[in-house]
């Protein structure tokens, strides 16, 4: 029986079963003639790359599946990598994720002149109407050949007849449907804009019109949107821009949103659509494919970073060739936080990536609780479908212009590593770090002194955590300073009961840790990440900062009883740092230990002052320290010896 050639329609069609059969046929063809493996694979990738009906995510998935299903030799991989110049950037990224690491740069290094178009697989022919997608230049004119040149027209054919004609004149693909059905799926395709005619909203009551508008606004902050506002109820029309602002959590780009009488597009609208298409294409061509996030999040990061950079440049003639990132773990949040360093010569920034609804709530918390207190990070929300990102702008690092300001965690770690040798690197000065921590404490205290009337969630969950572990047989055997054994679950429950009395009395940042504090000039702190901002205990933020420094940086260079005695002196007496240095010189030899001692002294003073203003006593401070320490004891990256010593020192203050 003759070997059946792979069917090109199956690679590019919407039928997943047909695609899987095509993969099988391709595999058999490769087994039959090993000399044509690269040629056959390139032809199959070409068919997928040119499939307009597939979303970017689906194209990427199919290309990855194809490459993982066909055995490729080293020579085949080199051939495929060198011949992708004219493919979509998203297709290149999909190939790059499967290729050996040393071949990945080849995908972007090759020049168009050096790479002939891929020979089609048997039965697969390139679509003549599809343009080649060469890498864009630094100038950013309208990209006539962008794969993102599609606009969705919502409404009747008659309403959109002029729009259809105008869009086709400019080489823009027209998609149309009557209703709002399936919008969330459609927006994942290569759209540049959406136009809503009057028939979509005219027959709806005012509440349903408002719901439909909110749904449209929450689709994407990246696409062009035009709405026929003439058919809106007067109450809805008055609130139109407020609805848009609420959905975007701030003022969105005015050029990307248009509302007026009728849905007919103008030349200005076409120009706006061209700008969006250009933005999406430039972002898609950027080399960026981290394994820590999925393809949808990856694309959003590239677009958000590109749009953010353009928005802060007077000349928009900029193209990011590459985005370098480093991911770091969070505190209470499960979001992915990225330090982004674009190659445009400007400052870097921090980007938080999570689900759109989660980050929209965080931005609402920021405007409600934080913006009056600290607007230095200037968060901006970008969202597309279910994925979203918040960008926190940073000031340049004074040491390396164009690099983002470092976190307090980075600088303390450098200082501690400097005790082993600087290896030619600049070590932050201890005096600067001490000033940065002191300013962070003062800054947090200014927030925590504000009253809050909202209801918080409390902190009993911390006590519940230790009880859950105890119930599984995970028990900590800790003694107080007199050698008496501690009942840790009972101690945590006692602390939680005391804390509960003031659990929503103040405004709190809610997630203070060393990676959430960014430093300008190594001394000026800016806090980011507002997911848990809102009502909280007046001591929560400050004690969290105290614990972050103590349990991350303190070197337990003496037995636990000796460390516990130092903690007791820092937390339960008015001892100055000079006195501590005289009495505990053996424990204060490391920079991390000295910073921890100074932090504890300052935090205690601020906490007692905040509690006094609310008519509370020191037991509320001790209780919060116990709860935070219990929480730290269960974490993997904290120094358990220091946690144990802290509980030994503070337990008598609650149990006496």
The backbone region for 83, taken as left when phi is positive above 0, alpha when psi lies in -120 to 50, beta otherwise, is alpha
Among the residue ranges 111-115, 573-577, 589-593, 624-628, the one predicted with the least confidence is 111-115
Q: What band does 395 get if pLDDT is binned at 50, 70 and 90? A: low
Are 372 and 464 contained in the same domain? no
- How many domains in the chain? 4
Question: End of a domain among 344, 359, 393?
Answer: 393
- With respect to residue 408, please indicate whether it lies within any of the assigned structural domains: no
CATH classification at residue 345 = 3.30.200
- Decide if 543 contacts 606 (C-beta within 8 A): no
Count other Cβ atoms within 10 Å, centred on residue 358.
Answer: 14
One domain, residues 456 and 603: yes
- 224 vs 490: CA distance, rounded Å: 58
Question: What are the pLDDT digits (tens) for 120-173?
Answer: 333 333 322 333 222 222 233 344 455 677 899 999 999 999 999 999 999 998
DSSP 515: G
561-580 pLDDT tens trace? 999 999 999 999 999 999 99
Whether 549 has a pLDDT exceeding 90, the answer reads yes
> For the whole model, what pTM was predicted?
0.70
Verify that 627 and 482 share a domain, yes or no. Answer: yes
**Whether residue 207 is found in the same domain as residue 345:** no
Q: Is 286 within a domain? A: no
Q: Tell me the DSSP string of 275-310.
A: HHHHHHHHHHTSB---TTS-HHHHHHHHHHHHHHHH
DSSP annotation string for 35-93: GGHHHHHHHHHHHHHT-TTS-HHHHHHHHHHHHHHS---HHHHHHHHHT-TTS-HHHHH
Residue 420 placed within a domain: no
- Any domain includes 332: yes
| Residue 610: C-alpha distances to residues 267, 505, 508, 547, 617 (Å) | 60, 11, 13, 18, 10
Span of 34-43, 46-55, 94-103, 154-163 with lowest mean pLDDT? 94-103
Q: Is residue 256 part of a domain?
A: yes
DSSP line for 339-352: EEEESSSS--EEEE
Same domain, yes or no: 273 and 313:
no
- Shared-domain flag, residues 106 and 168: no
Decide which of 277, 311, 328 is a domain's last residue: 277
- Judgement on whether residues 626 and 478 belong to the same structural domain of the protein: yes
Question: Would 429 be classed as within a structural domain?
Answer: no
Query: Do 83 and 166 fall within a single domain?
Result: no
CB burial of residue 461 (10 Å; 0-12, 13-18, 19+): exposed
**Final residue in a domain of this structure, among 217, 252, 277:** 277
Range of the domain at 65: 8-114
Examine residue 414 and state whether it is found in any structural domain, yes or no.
Answer: no
| Same domain membership, residue 237 and residue 174 | yes
Whether the CB-CB separation of 223 and 383 falls below 8 Å is answered with no
Domain shared by 41 and 161, yes or no: no
The segment with the largest mean pLDDT, out of 95-104, 293-302, 429-438, 450-459, is 429-438
In a domain, 312, yes or no: yes
How long a stretch of residues is the chain?
A: 656
Contact yes or no for 395/347 (Cβ under 8 A): yes
Do residues 262 and 298 share a domain? no
Task: Determine contact, residues 570/552, Cβ cutoff 8 Å.
Answer: no
Same domain, 594 and 490: yes
* Mean pLDDT score, 318-339: 57
């Amino acid at each position: 029986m003759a070997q059946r050639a792979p069917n090109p329609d199956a690679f590019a069609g919407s039928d997943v079963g047909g695609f899987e059969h095509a993969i099988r046929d391709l595999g058999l063809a490769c087994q039959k003639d090993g000399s044509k493996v690269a040629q056959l694979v390139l032809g199959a990738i070409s068919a997928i790359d040119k499939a307009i009906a597939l979303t970017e995510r689906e194209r990427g998935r199919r290309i990855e599946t194809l490459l993982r299903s066909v055995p490729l030799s080293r020579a085949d991989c080199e051939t495929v990598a060198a011949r992708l110049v004219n493919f979509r950037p998203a297709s290149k990224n999909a190939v790059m994720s499967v290729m050996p690491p040393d071949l990945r740069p080849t995908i972007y290094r090759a020049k168009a002149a050096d790479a002939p178009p891929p020979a089609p697989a048997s039965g697969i022919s390139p679509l003549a109407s599809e343009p080649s997608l060469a890498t864009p230049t630094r100038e950013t004119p309208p990209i006539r050949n962008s794969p993102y040149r599609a606009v969705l027209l919502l409404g009747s054919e008659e309403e959109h007849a002029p729009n259809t004609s105008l869009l086709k004149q400019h080489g823009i693909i027209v998609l149309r449907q009557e209703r709002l059905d399936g919008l969330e799926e459609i927006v994942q395709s290569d759209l540049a804009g959406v136009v809503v005619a009057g028939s979509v909203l005219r027959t709806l009551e005012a509440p349903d019109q408002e719901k439909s508008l909110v749904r449209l606004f929450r689709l994407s902050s990246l696409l062009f949107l035009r709405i026929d506002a003439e058919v809106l109820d007067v109450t809805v029309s008055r609130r139109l821009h407020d609805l848009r602002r609420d959905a975007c959590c701030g003022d969105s780009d005015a050029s990307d949103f248009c509302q007026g009488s009728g849905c007919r597009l103008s030349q200005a609208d076409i120009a706006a659509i061209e700008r969006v298409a250009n933005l999406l294409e430039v972002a898609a061509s950027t080399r960026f494919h981290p394994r820590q996030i999925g393809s949808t999040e990856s694309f959003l990061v590239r677009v958000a970073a590109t749009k953010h950079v353009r928005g802060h440049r007077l000349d928009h003639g900029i193209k990011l060739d590459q985005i370098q990132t480093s991911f770091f773990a969070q505190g209470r949040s499960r979001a992915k936080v990225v330090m982004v360093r674009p190659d445009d010569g400007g400052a870097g920034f921090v980007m938080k990536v999570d689900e759109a609804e989660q980050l929209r709530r965080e931005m609402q918390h920021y405007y409600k609780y934080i913006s009056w207190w600290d607007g230095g990070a200037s968060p901006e929300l970008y969202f597309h479908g279910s994925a979203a990102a918040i960008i926190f702008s940073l000031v340049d690092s004074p040491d390396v212009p164009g690099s983002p300001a470092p976190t307090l965690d980075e600088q303390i770690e450098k200082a501690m590593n400097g005790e082993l040798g600087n290896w030619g690197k600049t070590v932050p000065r201890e005096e600067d770090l001490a000033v940065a921590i002191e300013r962070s404490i003062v800054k947090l205290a200014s927030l925590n002194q504000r009253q809050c009337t909202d209801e918080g969630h409390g902190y009993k969950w911390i006590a519940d955590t230790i009880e859950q572990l105890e119930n599984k047989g995970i028990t900590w055997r800790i003694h107080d300073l007199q050698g008496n054994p501690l009942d840790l679950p009972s101690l945590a429950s006692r602390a939680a009961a005391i804390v509960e009395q003031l659990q929503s009395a103040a405004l709190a940042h809610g997630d203070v840790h060393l990676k959430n504090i960014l430093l300008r000039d190594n001394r000026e702190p800016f806090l980011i990440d507002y997911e848990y901002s809102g009502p909280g205990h007046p001591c929560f933020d400050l004690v969290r900062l105290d614990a972050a420094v103590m349990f991350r940086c303190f070197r337990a260079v003496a037995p636990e009883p000796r460390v516990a005695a130092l903690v007791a002196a820092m937390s339960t007496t008015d001892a100055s740092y000079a006195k501590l240095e005289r009495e505990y010189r053996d424990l204060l030899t490391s920079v991390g230990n000295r910073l921890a001692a100074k932090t504890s002294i300052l935090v205690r003073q601020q906490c007692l002052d905040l509690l006094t203003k609310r008519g509370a006593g020191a037991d509320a401070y001790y209780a919060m320290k116990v709860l935070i320490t219990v929480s730290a004891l269960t974490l993997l990256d904290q120094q358990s010896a220091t946690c144990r010593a802290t509980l030994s020192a503070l337990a008598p203050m609650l149990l006496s």
